[in-house]
Amino acid sequence: MSRQRAKDSATSPENASPRGARPSRGTVTLSDVAKLAGVSAMTVSRVLNRPETVAAETVETVRKAIARTGYVPNLLAGGLATTRTKLVAAIVPTISGSIFAACIQSLTDRLEIAGYQMLLGLSGYPAAREEGLINAILSRRPDALFLTGTSHSAQSRRRLRGAKIPIVETWDLSTRPIDMAVGFSHARVGRDTAQFLFDKGYRRFAVIGAEDERAKIRWRSYLATLTELGVTDVASITTPAPTNLWMGRDGLGKLLGEGFTQGAIFCSSDALAHGVLLEAQARGLSVPGDIAVVGFGDLDFAAFTVPALTTVRIDRFAVGRLAAELILARLAGERVAEKTIDVGFQIIEREST
Amino acid sequence: MSRQRAKDSATSPENASPRGARPSRGTVTLSDVAKLAGVSAMTVSRVLNRPETVAAETVETVRKAIARTGYVPNLLAGGLATTRTKLVAAIVPTISGSIFAACIQSLTDRLEIAGYQMLLGLSGYPAAREEGLINAILSRRPDALFLTGTSHSAQSRRRLRGAKIPIVETWDLSTRPIDMAVGFSHARVGRDTAQFLFDKGYRRFAVIGAEDERAKIRWRSYLATLTELGVTDVASITTPAPTNLWMGRDGLGKLLGEGFTQGAIFCSSDALAHGVLLEAQARGLSVPGDIAVVGFGDLDFAAFTVPALTTVRIDRFAVGRLAAELILARLAGERVAEKTIDVGFQIIEREST
DNA sequence: CCTCCGCATGTTAGCGTTAACATTGCCTGC
DNA sequence: GCAGGCAATGTTAACGCTAACATGCGGAGG
């Protein structure tokens, strides 16, 4: 034993503790279990991590000792030693709006099966806290990362690359991903919606759009497509993100104020669209007679508004699930051929158009 | 230098590494930064954690070195050394149903300000995975814990107590909490709802109740209160949790099948209640003429169903926020006088009753 | 009967950080 | 002019675990 210990420190008085000495913490550790089981700490570690390498009898003894001591492993220490933390971090703007909640749910469910835990970061709208959050999260050395959107600061991108872990960027495919991506084309959503409404015969258009990165891509593409189709003079209202029903009511009020009393309105979210429906009802406008409404998201209530809402459906559970699969495949050492998955979208036609 | 290093190991051939030696990891560490800045690792650590104890000039130099190296601290190592991880874990049954999402949102938002990160565990319905989850989560040595419900297995309670960290149990106040609690009385919700409907003059009653721990307390208390009020023969339907709209439609169908064509129905959730409203409409029943409906949760859509839903409102953001405050107070070393907070509830009377 | 192999277990050192002291130099006060 | 104190920085060991080797032992093969 070459290290100096308190007991063989002859130069200091009996009770003085050596440099670096700390009070005992009183928590049960591997070696406590080992002592009780009459084996080495390493054997206990093996019982926990690769029991098949330990004799059945020994496993039994050790398991009993673990139970008796109430030992709870310390994954900080384990992670430090192995550089594998069994942690996956996810950053989403917000979780209370249910659109990302579904995603996180399926992601977490899948990862939990594989023994991974979820570190959750909420970056807010706009992703103001993202940079700091990425830093804080990388400090915990997660094994993989789930991000929302593909636009990050240069600094963030550098850090993310430097982390050398699987990274899935979701919801968007417009920028070249850092590593992997699961999402769909927001530009195509805008274009297809415009075309859909045009094909249905509408000739007057409006948009109530959130000032969110991805929402912007959608309604700008919608506007651009309408221009291509020869439609000029599209009324547009913007609202901050996250959106809610009241912003929708308010939005329709503003549109009416601008003289938009007839035509089709593309809303950035189902919540906005729902607000528009209610405001229309309150004002005695007929839907889709006077105005037609398209939402985005196909949240649970969309099928049950009155009239039922035409909207764009995204399989948000699939986003989480597929992201989990990509991550797990990579963590299992497999090479992922398709690093970008387009989950697509569907325009669900109901009564509001 | 008393420790044996590869270079002074004379007994082994030139290139053989000693026992325990590992390949270098190539990540930037504190001492890399220290070397570049020409100070000791400890000084760098101080710059990061308590810069006020370091000379301004040194801070400057070190900060530059940190930036130049792209150093990302390792909180696993830090946490191991300090036993403080700046991690708070939360376990909720599910997050996609928006009721707990709101809670987690406000909790995370508040904790993030204080520099804590969120470790999220989803235990499912019924809390099947709770025990394993608690174990996995405690392995990460969180500084505090946020739990849903107050009923945990004996094993779990022991482990939780043993963790010696602040624990907030939420949504329920019916059992004696392990440590702290933020919630309300589900029994009182059931009782007050029954009384409310009785006072409104209804004399025939039904319930569509989820088989969830807390929901059960509500509808059992509702049934018990009705019995006290002299009402016998209450029709009751149970559904698995988590509930959805379709279960509500189905539930009303079953009630009608049992001959319940008139009276008041207490539903375990707004989703169920919404389903009931839609099924009633589909079947040409008038609400509240034929049947009256009360939901639970006051989710965003509740005010906008047709007819608008009478329901029980819980301030779910408050649950998260108050839990965060309790946790932060305790982590700041303050003694918390009120360890149990009743956030109460409100019966919101709308058109469906 | 000896060698060799492979299984079960042990030993050592290191993962990257920080607590707890130690040290150094400078300034204050008498 | 010197003790004493404080401010800034350094040194050591420890946190609890596991990778990478080392060791010991029993049995198969010659």
Number of neighbours of residue A270 by Cβ within 10 angstroms:
26
Topology of domain A94-183+325-339 in CATH is: Rossmann fold (3.40.50)
**What are the start and end residues of each CATH 3.40.50.2300 domain in chain A?**
94-183+325-339, 186-313
Residue A313: beta bridge partners? A297, A346
Question: What's the whole-number average pLDDT of chain A?
Answer: 91
Give the range with max mean pLDDT: A128-132, B98-102, B324-328, B332-336: B324-328
Is A154 near strand C, with its CB below 7 A from some atom of it? no
For the residues of A16-35, what is the DSSP string, one character each? PPPTT---------HHHHHH
Judge whether residue B3 has pLDDT over 50.
Answer: no
**What are the start and end residues of each CATH 3.40.50.2300 domain in chain B?**
85-184+317-344, 186-313
CA of B34 to C1' of D11 (A): 14
d(CA B98, CA A286): 31
Judge whether residue B272 has pLDDT over 50.
Answer: yes
Q: For residues A309 and A352, is the Cβ–Cβ distance under 8 A? A: yes
Provide residues 77-116 of B with CB closer than 7 Å to any strand D atom.
77, 80-81
What's the confidence (pLDDT) of residue A15? 44
Q: pLDDT tens for residues B51-62?
A: 999 999 999 999
B14: amino acid identity, one letter: E
Q: pLDDT tens for residues B118-140?
A: 999 999 877 778 889 999 999 99
Q: Which residues of B touch A135 (CB under 8 A)?
A: 72
CATH 3.40.50.2300 fits B85-184+317-344, yes or no: yes
For the residues of B248-310, what is the DSSP string, one character each? HHHHHHHHHHTT--SEEEEESSHHHHHHHHHHHHHTT--TTTTEEEE-SB--GGGGGSSSPPB
Question: How is residue B319 annotated by DSSP?
Answer: H
d(CA A121, CA A136): 9
Question: Right CATH number for A6-73 from 3.40.50.10280, 3.40.50.720, 3.40.30.20, 1.10.260.40?
Answer: 1.10.260.40
Q: pLDDT tens for residues B153-197?
A: 898 999 999 999 999 999 999 889 999 999 999 999 999 999 999
Look at strands B117-122 and A117-122 and give their pairing. antiparallel
Topology of domain A186-313 in CATH is: Rossmann fold (3.40.50)
d(CA A289, CA A1): 88
Task: Please report, rounded to a whole number, the percentage of residues in chain A having pLDDT higher than 90.
Answer: 80
Residue B266: beta bridge partners? B207, B294
- The shortest C-alpha distance from A259 to chain B (Å) reads 26
Residue numbers of B between 93 and 112 with CB closer than 8 Å to A: 94-98, 101-102, 104-106, 108-109, 112
Q: What DSSP element (H or E) covers A311?
A: strand A311-313
For tokens 């007057």, the residue is A204
Contact: A80, B101; criterion CB under 8 Å: no
Q: pLDDT tens for residues B32-48?
A: 999 999 999 999 999 99
| Residues 6+ away with beta carbon under 8 Å from B338 | none
- The shortest C-alpha distance from B125 to chain A (Å) reads 12
CA of B263 to C1' of D16 (A): 63
**What are the start and end residues of each CATH 1.10.260.40 domain in chain B?**
30-73
Question: What's the whole-number average pLDDT of chain B?
Answer: 91
Lowest mean per-residue pLDDT among A217-221, A312-316, A332-336, B186-190: A332-336
Under CATH, which architecture does the B30-73 domain have?
Orthogonal Bundle (1.10)
- The shortest C-alpha distance from B233 to chain A (Å) reads 32
For the residues of A253-288, what is the DSSP string, one character each? HHHHHTT--SEEEEESSHHHHHHHHHHHHHTT--TT
Q: pLDDT tens for residues B68-115?
A: 999 999 999 999 999 999 999 999 999 987 689 999 999 999 999 999
Q: pLDDT tens for residues A268-316?
A: 999 999 999 999 999 999 999 999 999 999 988 898 888 999 999 999 9
Where on strand C do bases come within 7 A of a protein Cβ?
7-22
What's the confidence (pLDDT) of residue A24? 66
Closest by CA to B330, choosing from B104, B164, B161, is: B164
Question: How is residue A339 annotated by DSSP?
Answer: -
What's the confidence (pLDDT) of residue B19? 64
Q: Which residues of A touch B118 (CB under 8 A)?
A: 119-122
d(CA B301, CA B278): 13
